[in-house]
Structures are given as structure tokens and as C-alpha cells.
Structure 1
Amino acid sequence: MPCPICQKETDKKYRPFCSKRCADIDLAKWMSGSYAVPSQDPDDAEKALDEVLRLAASQSDTPEKPH
């Protein structure tokens, strides 16, 4: 089975990836939300918007650190 990121031969140590680099790229995609399953349910969109607004509000309440 080839590496899902670069299609090279997989390494048993990093399976299913070929290297730590490809494993890290995959992890970054998960963390950034690139791997998201689209939904047609309007409630899902509303919940997601509420969460984004909640996070934005909590970040704006945090005082900025001086540079």
C-alpha cells in the first residue's frame, strides 16, 4: 500500500506513511480541518457557526500580550 500523502513505499515504522514528514503533514490536515465530511444538515452548519463565534468571542476577551 503506498503512502497516502506522497505515494512512495510505506515504512513499517510510520505505517501507513513512508516517513515522519508525511505523517506530520497528515496530522496537520486533520488539525486544520482539511479532512472534513460535508453535511447537508442545516443544524450542523448552525452548530459550527455558533462554535466559531464562541471561540472568536473568547479570544477577543483575552488581553493581548505586549511585544
Structure 2
Amino acid sequence: MRCRHSPFRHLSQPRLLLHSRFCTGKMMLTMLAAVAEMECDLLLEHTQAGLARAKSEGKGAGSLV
């Protein structure tokens, strides 16, 4: 971003109010939680698919060959 007056603020900035007492804060925290849950589900799904593929190829779990 090259724009000087960019509205983006990093979550660690002290002036950024991301508190659950505000409706926008609740919304943002809910959205972040949903994305984190989706990432966890994708990781589990990919792990299960990889283990199933390794089993079908006759390889053991954790096999590098």
C-alpha cells in the first residue's frame, strides 16, 4: 500500500478499539473466530485425506517415501 491516508490499521495498534462491548468489535471477533474454525476444519480434512491416500498407496502414516 502506497497510499498515505490508508484506513487500514494493524490489530496491535493501541488506538484500534476491538472490544467485545462494541457491536463492530463483536462482529470482527466473530468473523475472526469463524475463519479460525474454518482453517482448523480444513487442516483436519487435508490430514485425513493425506492419511487415506497414504493408506491406499500402501504407505504408513508419517512415511516420507
TM-score range, shorter chain: 0.3 to 0.5
TM-score under structure 1 length normalisation: 0.36
TM-score under structure 2 length normalisation: 0.37
Which structure has the bigger radius of gyration?
A: 2
